[in-house]
Structure 1
């Protein structure tokens, strides 16, 4: 395997002998965005979670390296150090992942101290500025911020911890079109300025076309097509990809 920040070869995830994700090859380099697209149940999110060793009770085979860490053989401590500090997971509904009884600033401060960040106050301020959020929001509880603000806070937390990789699972699906554009704009700028590697799971091909360099199309757990986003979305070779594109409003 080469020097990408995310590398997977012959990745296969099964439950009880049933294969739910089979990905022959997946690479994401610094400053690059790769999108995994497909309908619900196609294996997109399972693939994403397996890259950080977060699939419970699953049988996983193949090779997976994230930021140089062999995820399938790493000790629990190495995985804890990888998650958050170097590779961050941004979920579809950030409100569901945030404690309703904890102010955003307290949550971020705890995470930074847990990962050994020294200048906590300055790091928090710079992270909020990077995602275009008012620092005043750190005094609020999760229910006091909008969905778009909560999603950008999740991204701010990732970059505050120094993440080199962001794995985003449908990060804009619960947002309206205007807020989607804001979140995508933040991710695009962070890729350019910080060299973040971004792996994006989405069913929204219109969104994917605005940010992804390469695309993997999954159906029933298998990759049916992959390649540069401009080529796959403009001239798809697989009937399923054409169906997805024809379904766009």
Structure 2
């Protein structure tokens, strides 16, 4: 099913509960093609839970509302439909991708398996690696033989090779040093422009968010307390919590 109206992600009245306790309450969230939206807040604010719920990856959770990702109704779609969009159309990039990769399997084998699983050819692999500034030689390495920045860029390359329309990134640079952070953010920024890739970024780093996000949602204790254009929210915050986050910046 194709994406409608240019919106790759469309969320209305999303609530994620565990044991009757609301851990994420998001009234509205849209991400268009070529757009970056950031969800910010401290640990435990509901950012990552919101991200995972968009792909139906919150186990044992009670979820209500309306969630469409790449044209698929996530909350009502069968598992087969969800598996078809995960990775191939909507790719999840975690904070530590090395931990999600089999330590006994070369990166090239992992890539080929993912392509085969989603029925994709390997013709775009070189272009995907080039897009994230990786040499094809990396495919011969094991996960422990690459740096954190290389692992992040490999995860992004895998998403590109699979034809992803949107990347959902959960703290993708927090485990990296400042120089490598800038490298990864530069890759994501370029992909937005060159490939019209949508990006939903979860981060607690407002300085990083200010360099890439078009719009920002600020979450505290599971609720969205402020949202709007990034330039406006970060320059003229209206909620006390947002001001606290900004004042905490070095």
For this structure pair, what is the TM-score category when the shorter chain's length is used for normalisation? Answer: over 0.9
In structure 1, the partner of 2:76 is 73
Distance 2:144 2:125 in 1: 20
Residues 213, 134 of structure 1: CA spacing in aligned structure 2 closer, same or farther, 3 A cutoff?
same
Gaps of 5+ in 2: none
Report the equivalent of 2:145.
144
- 2:231 aligned residue: 230
Give the gaps of 5 or more residues in structure 1: none
| Secondary structure of the structure 2 residue equivalent to 1:5 | strand
Name 1:35's counterpart in structure 2: 38
Query: What residue number does 2:63 align with?
Result: 60
| TM-score relative to the length of structure 2 | 0.98
Residue 2 of structure 1: how far off its partner (Å)? 5.2
Once the two structures are superposed, the pairs formed by residues 1-249 of structure 1 within 5 Å of their partners are: 3-118=6-121, 120=122, 122-249=123-250
What CA distance in whole angstroms lies between the structure 1 residues aligned with 2:131 and 2:111? 15
Q: How many residues align?
A: 247
Give the Cα separation in 2 of the matches to 1:89 and 1:163: 10
Matches of 1:76 and 1:129, distance apart in 2: 33
Matches of 1:47 and 1:143 in 2, distance apart?
A: 30
What is the rounded CA distance, in whole Å, between the counterparts of 2:102 and 2:73 in structure 1? 31
Give a deviation string over 1:102-155, Cα, whole Å, max 9, x none: 00011001100111112x1x3221111110011111100011100000000000
Instruction: Give the superposition deviation at 1:229.
Output: 0.2
Q: What TM-score does the superposition give when structure 1 sets the normalisation length? A: 0.98
Moved more, 25-34 or 126-135: 126-135
SS across alignment from 1:39: coil
- C-alpha deviations, 1:64-114, integer Å up to 9, x for none? 000100000001100000101100000000110011000001100110011
The 8 Å contact of residues 6 and 33 in structure 2, kept in 1 or not, is answered as no
Q: How large is the RMSD of aligned CA atoms in angstroms? A: 0.9
**Which whole-Å deviations, capped at 9, do the CAs of 1:53-73 have from their partners, x for residues lacking one?**
000000000000001000000
Q: Distance in 1 between matches of 2:175 and 2:187?
A: 17
Question: 1:3: Cα distance to partner?
Answer: 4.2
Once the two structures are superposed, residues 155-174 of structure 1 have per-residue CA deviations (whole angstroms, 9 ceiling, x without a partner) of 00011000001000000000
Counterpart-to-counterpart distance in 2, 1:148 and 1:203: 19
Moved over 6 A (4+): none
